Amino acid sequence: MVKGIIAFGQYFLLDKIVGRSPSNIYQNPKFRSAIIQAILVFIVFYTFYSLYQTTVFNLEERGIKTSTSFFDQVAPFKVGFSPFLNFELGETTYIEVFYIGVLNTLLVAVLGIIAATLLGFFIGILRSSNNWLAQKFALIYVEIFRNMPLLLQIMFWNFAIFLAFLPPPKQSLEFGAFYLNGRGLQTPVPIVENNFLFKVWLGILIFSIIASFIFRNWAKKRRDQTGKSLPVLGISLSVIIIIGISSFYILGKPFAVDLPVLGKFNFKGGGQLPLPLFSLWFALTVYTSAFIAENVRAGIASVSKGQIEAARSIGLTRPQMVKLIIIPQALRVIIPPTISQYLNLTKNSSLAMAVGYEEVVAVWANISLNQTGQALIIIAMTIIFFEICSLFTSFILNIYNRRIQITER
Amino acid sequence: MTMNTVKFEKLPDRLPPVNTVGWVAWVKQNLFGSVSNTIITLLFFYLIFLYIPPFLEWSVFNANISGSDRSICDENRSGACWTFIKVRMEQLLFGLYFAQNPDQMWRPIMAFIVFGGLLTPLAIDRTPYKKWLLLILLVAYPIFFISLVGGGVFGIPKSDASEWGGLLLTFTLAFVGIVLALPLGILLALGRRSKMPVVRSFSIIYIEFWRGTPLITILFMASVMLPLFFPSGVEFDKVVRAMIGITLFQSAYTAEAVRGGLQALDKGQTEASMALGMGYWQQTIFIILPQALRISIPSIVNTFIALFKDTSLVSIIGLLDLLKIAQNSSRSLDWNGYDIEAYMFAGLVFWIFCFGMSIYSQKLERKLDTDRNVE
């Protein structure tokens, strides 16, 4: 017994404080790992430092002094598409070109995310439908577009299809107030006539959306207590639309919609998504929707059969079952990978260069870099922009994952 | 008194109603099950009728394949011009050097055949010595490939990597990417799960950095910055620069795939090997990695599919891969106006490889799944 305690004490002392064999400090795991880490830190920082030194030296040898002073220089090239910032050749500076590029990237990303989500859910639902033809159609769609390079698809749609077959403006294809022709997609745009009243109108709209969320929570609580449910979505939507339209007229039409009208040779009024943007948007949508459709299929398949049988046995109708049982559980599986697809779409929008859409990689990492030679700063800024997008995405993902974990208990 | 024996005889079963078995039932259930189902079916029949016959007419029945210049296609514009693809096939597959030296064409062809010969048994379940085969494919084959296709040894004429093109270049970039990224990715995955905070955070930063940036930016960085990183005098070929960029990029994705395998592994494996007195590297090499890598093969294949598609981006930095050669050919004077054929051919080649790999990875995933269920 006593012997045992002594042995344990010895073992504990030697192991925890001086290491298993006190004669040889190199075999102490803590010491060893500290040394390894110190060496690693040294190597990594030294590598970065020397790379930085050589790069700056090499740039200087080529007559380029690495500094951010070129930001305020006037950019000597034309950026054709900048719907949010005004571009004036001979006035716009490099840093403004960067902002234009970033905004153009975000524009195509947002357009693509909206369209790809709608199309992806549609295809995914077809894929899980019990109609054999619809199922096989969706399967073929997914397998075709998922397994070809996106760049090839962008070029195919732009050069082989749209540029070759879309008609000139005179014979544009008409989709309501939208017109598609060889130059791009003509769209209606809102024109703000009274800035203050427009903001008031926006405020009213946002307020009614918030109110509808409060209403939803109240209805949910009421359902939990009394068992009576309300058609929340229908009520909220119609109230928001009624409030939006009536306040629009009460405030005296704070904005007008400018419709594209066909003039003698081209369209007047409205906005235009130039053909490269349209092709890029189209290709990104088709490509990403194939991945989203696969997520949707997996999500629907992940709802176990027992859930559906249980829902039937407690007498839920089919719409109730879809709304209350299938969708909430399927969305849990669908949403996380779909958010990653949104990030992929944003990163993939950088392929725009192949068709000449002016997003951040094209105008900044390519044209501006070639003009100024400031490789270090320009590449770093481009990368930082995408890293921010990526961090933002994982931030949203983490929040979402935490939320569904709590409700899961 | 005679016993009247009544003999019961079983009559043959009546057949089930026609509309519950066979193709009638199948059609009823899968195509016309309900009103909405019927509408969807009719809609799809209409769409098929509308689009499939014209497409087949264009791509097969009216298509041109004979001759060797555009005059035949120009006369018959109602069909696809496969003559174009036929004439340019050598360029599309092997690039300009081998298209100009047809007597050297056996080199890339043989390299592809050997690759197929090594790969096919790997995809079959019962092949013995799979590990050795894989090792040959990942280590010996690249050396064989470079000396055969690159030449300069054994009296084979030299052809620089910068002269390769088409599918050959696409294949080379993707293969180099996966072979070099695999060891790097394994180290990073181990680093990300290391107990040393510095190692762990460096691995995380490295992985997330490359995963957050689009490949095209990385290729730009590789083609613009890489020469700046090294003292003047150190020169890299364009292809080599792209390879470096692709390898670094791919290693981050491989690391995540391997990490998935490491995480899926039962903790008991580590604990048992610790109990046997194994050190970290012994555990990792003999116990953890063999099992973890096996689990992560499907995800590694998936990252490889993505890489194979992504190699097409090198066309933006001016390398003549399959896509770029297809585009250039469809813009050449001889064949301009036949873009659709060019892109469709390139797309089909990419599709065959990617679809094949995805079928393989799905099959593997199912197999691993059943394996685990049996245990």
Query: Over its length of 409 residues, how does chain A's per-residue pLDDT go in tens digits?
Result: 566 666 656 555 555 554 455 456 666 777 888 888 889 899 999 988 988 888 888 888 777 777 777 777 877 788 878 777 777 777 778 888 898 899 999 999 999 999 999 999 999 998 888 888 888 999 999 999 999 999 999 999 988 888 888 887 777 787 777 888 878 888 887 777 777 787 888 888 888 889 888 988 888 888 888 877 777 778 888 888 888 888 878 777 777 777 777 776 667 767 788 888 999 999 999 999 999 999 999 998 888 889 989 999 999 888 888 888 888 888 888 888 898 899 899 999 998 888 888 889 888 888 888 888 788 888 889 999 999 988 888 888 888 888 876 555 4
Task: Judge: B33–A379 Cβ closer than 8 Å, yes or no.
Answer: no
Q: Rounded to 5 degrees, what angle do the CA atoms A160, A161, A163 make?
A: 85
Task: Judge: A40–B199 Cβ closer than 8 Å, yes or no.
Answer: yes
The CATH code of the domain that includes A162 is 1.10.3720.10
Measuring CA to CA, how many Å separate A214 from each of A226, A233, A237? 18, 12, 14
Task: Judge: B216–A351 Cβ closer than 8 Å, yes or no.
Answer: yes
**Gap between the Cα atoms of A230 and A386, Å rounded:** 43
Is A405 buried (19+), middle (13-18) or exposed (0-12) by CB count in 10 A? exposed
Domain shared by A15 and A143, yes or no = no
Give chain A's domain count.
2
Measuring CA to CA, how many Å separate B230 from each of A375, B180, B222, B225, B288? 14, 21, 12, 9, 38
Pick among B203, B316, B336, B345 to test the A interface (most A CBs inside 10 A): B316
Helix (H, G, I), strand (E, B), or coil: what is residue B264? helix
For residue A334, which of A362, A302, A310, A358 has the smallest C-alpha distance? A302
Domain shared by A150 and A293, yes or no = yes
Is A181 buried (19+), middle (13-18) or exposed (0-12) by CB count in 10 A? buried
What's residue A407's pLDDT? 58
For residue B237, which of B141, B169, B183, B327 has the smallest C-alpha distance? B169
In a domain, A165, yes or no: yes
Structure tokens at A13: 């002392």
CB distance A375 to B217 below 8 Å? no
Task: Judge: B224–A350 Cβ closer than 8 Å, yes or no.
Answer: no
Is B146 buried (19+), middle (13-18) or exposed (0-12) by CB count in 10 A? middle
| Cα radius of gyration rounded to whole Å, chain B | 28
How close is the nearest chain A Cα to the Cα of B8, in Å?
Answer: 43
**Gap between the Cα atoms of A18 and A306, Å rounded:** 59
Task: Judge: A133–B41 Cβ closer than 8 Å, yes or no.
Answer: yes
Residue of A133, A147, A353 with shortest CB distance to B44:
A133
Final residue of a structural domain among A39, A61, A83: A61
Structure tokens at A275: 């053909």
In a domain, A130, yes or no: yes
- A81 Ramachandran zone, left/alpha/beta (phi>0; psi -120 to 50): beta
How close is the nearest chain B Cα to the Cα of A98, in Å?
Answer: 15
Residues in chain B within 8 Å Cβ distance of A386: 212-214, 217
| Cα radius of gyration rounded to whole Å, chain A | 29
Q: Rounded to the nearest 5°, which phi and psi values hold at A262?
A: -75, 120
Measuring CA to CA, how many Å separate A267 from each of A166, A168, A295? 15, 11, 40
**3 state SS for B312-375:** HHHHCCCCCEHHHHHHHHHHCCCCCCCHHHHHHHHHHHHHHHHHHHHHHHHHHHHHHHHHHHHC
Q: In what order do the strands lie in the sheet with A184-187?
A: A173-175, A178-181, A184-187, A271-274
Task: Judge: B217–A161 Cβ closer than 8 Å, yes or no.
Answer: no
Residues in chain A within 8 Å Cβ distance of B327: 155, 159
Residues in chain B within 8 Å Cβ distance of A65: none
In a domain, A212, yes or no: no
- B-chain residue closest to A343, CA distance: B212
For residue B173, which of B287, B118, B95, B97 has the smallest C-alpha distance? B95
Residue of A361, A369, A387 with shortest CB distance to B212:
A387
Task: Judge: A151–B312 Cβ closer than 8 Å, yes or no.
Answer: yes
Helix (H, G, I), strand (E, B), or coil: what is residue B236? coil
Task: Judge: B316–A149 Cβ closer than 8 Å, yes or no.
Answer: no
Residue of A41, A51, A391 with shortest CB distance to B198:
A41
Is B280 buried (19+), middle (13-18) or exposed (0-12) by CB count in 10 A? middle
Helix axes B197-212, B166-192, angle to 10 degrees: 150
In a domain, A152, yes or no: yes
Task: Judge: A151–B323 Cβ closer than 8 Å, yes or no.
Answer: yes
Stated length of chain B: 375
Domain assignment of residue A123, given as a range: 94-170+276-408
Residues in chain B within 8 Å Cβ distance of A40: 198-199, 202
What's residue B3's pLDDT? 63
Pick among A54, A129, A132 to test the B interface (most B CBs inside 10 A): A132
For residue B31, which of B44, B13, B49 has the smallest C-alpha distance? B44
pTM of the model: 0.85
**Gap between the Cα atoms of B83 and B66, Å rounded:** 6
- pLDDT tens digit string along B297-311? 888 888 999 999 999
**Gap between the Cα atoms of A376 and A374, Å rounded:** 6
- B-chain residue closest to A164, CA distance: B337
Q: Are strands A261-262 and A255-258 parallel, antiparallel or unpaired?
A: unpaired
Tell me which architecture the domain covering B73-101+157-374 has in CATH: Orthogonal Bundle (1.10)
Q: In DSSP terms, which residues pair with A192 in a beta bridge?
A: A255
CB distance B191 to B258 below 8 Å? no
In a domain, A124, yes or no: yes
Domain shared by A55 and A153, yes or no = no
Residues in chain B within 8 Å Cβ distance of A366: 220
What DSSP letter does each residue of B158-185 carry, written as one string?
Answer: P--GGG--HHHHHHHHHHHHHHHHHHHH
Residues in chain A within 8 Å Cβ distance of B229: 51, 54-55
What are the residue boundaries of the structural domains of chain B, listed by start? 23-61, 73-101+157-374
For residue A275, which of A358, A361, A368 has the smallest C-alpha distance? A358
Q: Rounded to the nearest 5°, which phi and psi values hold at A72?
A: -90, 0
Residues in chain A within 8 Å Cβ distance of B351: 144, 147-148
How close is the nearest chain A Cα to the Cα of B202, in Å?
Answer: 9
Residues in chain B within 8 Å Cβ distance of A128: none
Domain shared by A50 and A98, yes or no = no
CB count, 10 Å around CB of B133? 15
Task: Judge: B44–A134 Cβ closer than 8 Å, yes or no.
Answer: yes
CB distance B63 to B80 below 8 Å? yes
Domain shared by A298 and A156, yes or no = yes
Low-confidence stretches of chain B (pLDDT < 50) are 373-375
Residue of B202, B232, B344 with shortest CB distance to A58:
B232
Task: Judge: B340–A137 Cβ closer than 8 Å, yes or no.
Answer: no
For residue B257, which of B361, B168, B103 has the smallest C-alpha distance? B361
What's residue B373's pLDDT? 46
Domain shared by A50 and A102, yes or no = no
For chain B, report the end-to-end CA distance as a whole number of angstroms.
Answer: 69
Residues in chain A within 8 Å Cβ distance of B355: 143, 147
Task: Judge: A33–B230 Cβ closer than 8 Å, yes or no.
Answer: no
CA B99 to chain centre: 25
Q: At residue A213, what is the residue type? A: F
Residues in chain A within 8 Å Cβ distance of B232: 58, 61
- B-chain residue closest to A143, CA distance: B355
How close is the nearest chain A Cα to the Cα of B152, in Å?
Answer: 33
Domain shared by A155 and A291, yes or no = yes
Residues in chain B within 8 Å Cβ distance of A389: 212
Domain shared by A99 and A56, yes or no = no
> What residues have CB less than 8 Å from B254, skipping those under 6 apart?
B178, B181, B182, B184, B185, B186, B188, B189, B300, B303
Structure tokens at A8: 């344990």
**Gap between the Cα atoms of A181 and A169, Å rounded:** 5
Structure tokens at B114: 């050997």
Domain shared by A338 and A397, yes or no = yes
